[in-house]
Amino acid sequence: MKRNFAGTLTLSRFFWRQERRQVVLWALAIVLLNFLVVVSYAQIYKSPAERAAMAQTMRNPAMTFMLGPGWGLDNYTIGAMVGHEMLLFAAMLAAIMNILVVQALTRSSEEDGRHELLLSLPVGSLSSLAAPLVLALMQNAGLALATGLALWVPGVESVDLAGSLLFGTAVGTTGFFFAGLTALFAQLAETSRANLILSLSVLGLLYVLRGLGDLGREWLSLATPLGLILRTQVYVANYWWPVGIMLAAAGVLWTGAFRLNWGRDLGSGYLRARAGRQRASRLLRSPFGLALRLQRSAIISWLCALLLLGASYGSVFADLEEFLAGNEFLREILPSVQGYSLTEQFLSMVIDVTAMLAVIPALLPVVRLVKEEKAGRLESLLALPVSRLNLLLGFLLLGVLVSALAMLASGLGLGLAVQAVLGEGPPLTSVLVASLAQLPGMLVMLGAAVVIVGFCPRFTVLLWAYVAYSVFAVYFGVLINLPQWAVKLSPFGWNPQLPVEPFEVQTALLLLGLAVLLCAAGAWGYVRRDLDL
Amino acid sequence: MTVLETVELKKNFGDISALKGVNLAVRRGEIHGFIGPNGAGKTTTMRILLGLLKPTAGTATVFGRDAWKDAVEIHRQVAYVPGEVQLWPNLTGGEVLDLLARLRGPGNERLRGELLERFDLDPSRKCGTYSKGNRQKVALIAALSSGAELLILDEPTSGLDPLMEQVFQDCLQELRAQGRSVLLSSHILSEVEKVCDRVSIIRDGVIIESGTLVELRHLTSTHVAVQTKRPLEGLEQFSGVHDLQERGGVTYFSVEAEELGAVMAHLSRFEIVRLECAPPTLEDLFIRHYEGETRR
pLDDT of residue A473: 87
- Long-range (24+ apart) CB contacts under 8 A made by B228-235 are B228/B267, B228/B270, B228/B271, B228/B272, B228/B273, B229/B270, B229/B271, B229/B273, B230/B270, B230/B271, B231/B270, B232/B267, B232/B270, B234/B266, B235/B263, B235/B266
A226 lies in the same domain as A312: no
A248 lies in the same domain as A377: no
A254 lies in the same domain as A304: no
A291 lies in the same domain as A257: no
Measured distance CA(A268)–CA(A110) in Å, rounded: 9
Q: Is A391 left (phi over 0), alpha (psi -120 to 50) or beta?
A: alpha
pLDDT of residue B282: 67
Q: Are B284 and B220 in contact (CB under 8 A)?
A: yes
Kindly tell me the burial class for residue A149, based on how many C-beta atoms sit within 10 Å of its own C-beta (0-12, 13-18, 19 or more): middle
Q: Among B4, B68, B90, which would you mutate to test the A interface (most chain A Cβ atoms within 10 Å of its Cβ)?
A: B90
**Looking at residues A294-299, what average pLDDT do you find?**
91
A215 lies in the same domain as A297: no
- A533 CB neighbours in chain B (<8 A) are 47, 52-53
Q: How do B272-278 and B221-228 pair as beta strands?
A: antiparallel
A454 lies in the same domain as A321: yes
Has residue A276 been placed in a domain? no
pLDDT of residue B296: 40
Has residue A505 been placed in a domain? yes
Q: pLDDT tens for residues B197-217? A: 999 989 889 998 888 877 777
A124 lies in the same domain as A195: yes
Last residue of a domain, one of A245, A262, A279: A262
The nearest CA of chain B is from the CA of A454 a distance in Å of: 15
Q: pLDDT tens for residues A235-254? A: 999 999 999 999 999 999 99
pLDDT range class, residue B295, cuts 50, 70, 90: very low
Top pLDDT among A514 and A481 is at A514
Taking the Cβ of residue B104 and every Cβ of chain A, the question of whether any pair is shorter than 8 Å is answered with yes
* Domain that includes residue A398, residue range: 287-528
Has residue A280 been placed in a domain? no
- A386 CB neighbours in chain B (<8 A) are 72, 75, 103
Has residue A277 been placed in a domain? no
Taking the Cβ of residue B85 and every Cβ of chain A, the question of whether any pair is shorter than 8 Å is answered with yes
A246 lies in the same domain as A372: no
- B132 CB neighbours in chain A (<8 A) are none
Q: How do B78-81 and B65-66 pair as beta strands?
A: unpaired
A250 lies in the same domain as A294: no
pLDDT of residue A152: 94
A36 lies in the same domain as A71: yes
Measured distance CA(A433)–CA(A421) in Å, rounded: 20
The nearest CA of chain A is from the CA of B134 a distance in Å of: 15
Has residue A270 been placed in a domain? no
Q: What is the ipTM of this complex?
A: 0.82
Has residue A413 been placed in a domain? yes
Top pLDDT among B142 and A271 is at B142
Yes or no, beta carbons of B94 and A277 under 8 Å apart: yes
Angle at A327 between CA A323 and CA A333, to 5 degrees: 110
Yes or no, beta carbons of B126 and A191 under 8 Å apart: yes
Measured distance CA(B123)–CA(B87) in Å, rounded: 13
Compute and round to an integer the Cα radius of gyration of chain B.
Answer: 23
Measured distance CA(A344)–CA(A486) in Å, rounded: 25
Top pLDDT among B126 and B187 is at B126
SS3 B250: strand
Measured distance CA(A190)–CA(A106) in Å, rounded: 11
A163 lies in the same domain as A89: yes
Based on the structure, what is the number of domains in chain A?
A: 2
The nearest CA of chain A is from the CA of B109 a distance in Å of: 11
A169 lies in the same domain as A37: yes
Q: Searching chain A, which residue's CA lies closest to the CA of residue B55? A: A530
Has residue A500 been placed in a domain? yes
Q: pLDDT tens for residues A78-95? A: 999 999 999 999 999 999
Has residue A414 been placed in a domain? yes
Q: Searching chain B, which residue's CA lies closest to the CA of residue A378? A: B86
- B54 CB neighbours in chain A (<8 A) are 528, 530
Top pLDDT among B44 and B189 is at B44
Q: What is the 3-state secondary structure (H, E, C) of A284-336?
A: CCCHHHHHHHHHHHHHHHHHHHHHHHHHHHHHHHHHHHHHHHCCHHHHHHCCC
The nearest CA of chain B is from the CA of A533 a distance in Å of: 8
Q: Are A167 and A147 in contact (CB under 8 A)?
A: yes
Measured distance CA(A105)–CA(A402) in Å, rounded: 34
Top pLDDT among A410 and A217 is at A410
* Most distant pair of Cα atoms in chain A: their distance: 78
